[in-house]
Amino acid sequence: MKKLLFIISVASSIAVKAQSPFNDIVYLDVNKIKAPVSTHGELWWNPATSKAACEFPKGSGKLANSLGALWMSGYDGSGNLHISTQVFRQEGNDYWPGPLFSATALPYAVSQGWSKVWKVTASDINTFLSTTTHTVTNTPISILEWPAKNNPYAKGKAGVLLSITTDMAPFVDANGDGEYNPLQGDFPRMKGDEMLWWVFNDNGATHNNSKGSSLGMQIRATAYGYNRGTKVGNILFYEYLITNMSGIAYNNFRCALFNDAELGWYRDDYVGFDSVRRMGIAYNANSTDGSGQPEAYGASIPVTGVTILQTPSDVGNTYAPLANFMYYNNDNTLTGNPDSATQYNNYIRGMWRDGLILKNDFAGAGISSNGRTGSVNANYAYTGDPKIKTQWSECASANTPADRRFVLSASDYSFGIGATTKFAFALVITDTSSNNYCDSVSFDNVKELADTAWKYYYAPPPALTVSSTEPLQLTAYPNPVKDMLFVNSIIDIKNVLVYDVNGKKQNVSYNVSGKRTEINTIALPVGMYTLLISNGQDTYRSIFVKQ
């Protein structure tokens, strides 16, 4: 009997080890924020060390956030709850690396090959576009191994070759054949000046964090940032394309962003909410953050925010209000950590662990409020600006600071079989200041950063090109182009020539006005082209792609 128990114990140990999660992360570090993403979907956290890793300002050792993750829940036609969440892996993992190919669970071995975050930069793209003949040796690895549809060179974790027959990572299709081949001029369609891409799902080897039934969702994730010497350097962008692969249509589906908003030292934080910008905010309760810990900010502290840029319920220029902003504490009380599918779902839907709806129990300045007393139901917690003591905020209520977490939930959505929806948000961090604590803080600066995030998300600037990072000679935009290409140069333009990848001159119409020309590209076939402009003496060259 003892021998049998020993064999079972060893077998169980091997099984657990075989399903161990992966610790692969890659940092987005293009601007003032240095922050990782994990192949299991965690943001701003290092699973190998189980520590926060969102450094701001970059190189300082100070940490502005701890962990962010996608939470989702919905109900099938029989009213059964399906839910997926991720926190710190103490209970397990609901998310695993890799795409879903059907409603069946993704095997562990396949997931392992997809445990990679791909990184591409504007410099990589410029190097590629400045080369007319592409080979395996002169193509940047980030472009050569990009995990796009039918790329014969796509590689995953540890150089594993990937077979990709469906749409995965976004790309510019230079020849319009619907497949990615970098040697034929295709390259990643990137956002920002540096971009990360990865894919994960909630139907993998285990689903034991939420302790609920999985939804069968595939999430294609993008993270990116800009470095333009402006306020956008304090912002990182995140975008999820969520596809329902389950074969089940969900009612009252919600996606949400969980954030353990540890601002420096984790025990002295407050949280708040701005409904206009759909933004959760973390700020310091005390004038000094921490007491000398390496990650603490001391007397010069930032304010952080997560602003939701797009939800499944947004239509055109109509942005649906968030359903809920809910907070909880890192403890085991009724306002503490969830420990079941029902409790996780409660937080997604504006309720406490025991199902009590959030209350607006603000009774005036100096009177503690935790959102559990009174009779006034609330969708959002702590909606006031702390500088106004007659509004509901943690600061006005003089709450005891603690390790706060919050959940930003999108409104209910009917999610059909095979459908794809988008959920996007930005992390914004203000510059450090001695005024960013309860008695003197204003949300004006973090709101201004959120406004910048919205501007850059919906009206992104032109991509950085070789000519915009070196002495300016020639800029051509937009690139890729659909109908009209605009060109600015340092010379008075007299001649304009366009050639295809085979060196054949193309007939295009254009209008020249001094150092500027507009080129009509409507008649050009989809593909990559070389542009030459000259003033009769000097000639400058650029590459553009016609979509």
Classified by CATH at the fold level, domain 30-95+202-350+401-458 comes out as Beta-galactosidase; Chain A, domain 5 (2.70.98)
* Between 336 and 17, the higher pLDDT residue: 336
Tell me what pLDDT residue 504 has: 78
**Token pair of 363 as six digits:** 């009774």
Mean pLDDT of 418-428: 99
CB 39 within 8 A of CB 97: yes
Task: Given CATH 1.10.357.10, say whether it is the number of domain 474-546.
Answer: no
Cβ(435)–Cβ(446) under 8 Å? Answer: no
More confident residue, 471 or 460: 460
User: Has residue 376 got a pLDDT over 80?
Assistant: yes
* Residue 477, pLDDT score: 87
Predicted local confidence at residue 526, as pLDDT? 87
Render pLDDT for 514-526 as a digit per residue (tens, 0 to 9): 889 999 999 999 8
pLDDT at 473: 66
The alpha helices in 248-351, defined as continuous H runs, are 341-348
- Poorest-pLDDT segment among 12-26, 236-250, 332-346: 12-26
The pLDDT of residue 470 is above 60: no
At residue 474, the pLDDT reads 77
Split at pLDDT 50, 70, 90, the class of 530 is confident
Reported as a single tens digit per residue, the pLDDT across 247-269 is 999 999 999 999 999 999 999 99
Given a cut of 50, whether residue 1 has pLDDT beyond it is no
pLDDT mean over 154-163: 98
Section 231-245 average pLDDT: 99
Confidence tier at 354 by pLDDT (50, 70, 90): very high
Please say if the pLDDT value at position 465 is more than 60. Answer: no
Decide if pLDDT at 467 tops 70: no
Name the burial class of residue 17, with classes exposed (0-12), middle (13-18) and buried (19+) by CB atoms within 10 angstroms of its CB: exposed
271 vs 530: which has the higher pLDDT: 271
Mean pLDDT of all residues in 214-235: 98
Handedness of CA 58, 60, 65, 69 (dihedral sign): positive
Query: What percentage of the chain has pLDDT greater than the value 90?
Result: 81
**Where along the chain do its domains lie?**
30-95+202-350+401-458, 474-546
How confident is the model over 379-403, as a mean pLDDT?
97
What is the C-alpha separation between 345 and 347, in angstroms, rounded?
A: 5
In this prediction, residue 290 carries a pLDDT of 97
Cα gap 44→63, rounded to integer Å? 9
Q: What percent of the chain has pLDDT over 70?
A: 94
Q: Give the residue-averaged pLDDT of 421-427.
A: 99
Closest among 365, 424, 428, 353 to 398, alpha carbons compared: 365
Average pLDDT, rounded, for the chain: 93
Reported pTM? 0.87
Question: Average pLDDT, stretch 535-542?
Answer: 76
Most confident of 155-159, 475-479, 523-527: 155-159
Contacts of 533 (CB under 8 A, 6+ apart): 474, 487, 489, 491, 493, 495, 496, 497, 517, 539, 540
Taking Cα atoms as reference points, which of 166, 160, 168, 162 lies closest to residue 199?
A: 168
pLDDT in tens, 44-90: 999 999 999 999 999 999 999 999 999 999 999 999 999 999 999 99
Q: What are 498's strand-pairing partners?
A: 531
Instruction: Judge if 30-95+202-350+401-458 and 474-546 fold alike in CATH terms.
Output: no
Does position 8 have pLDDT exceeding 70, yes or no? no
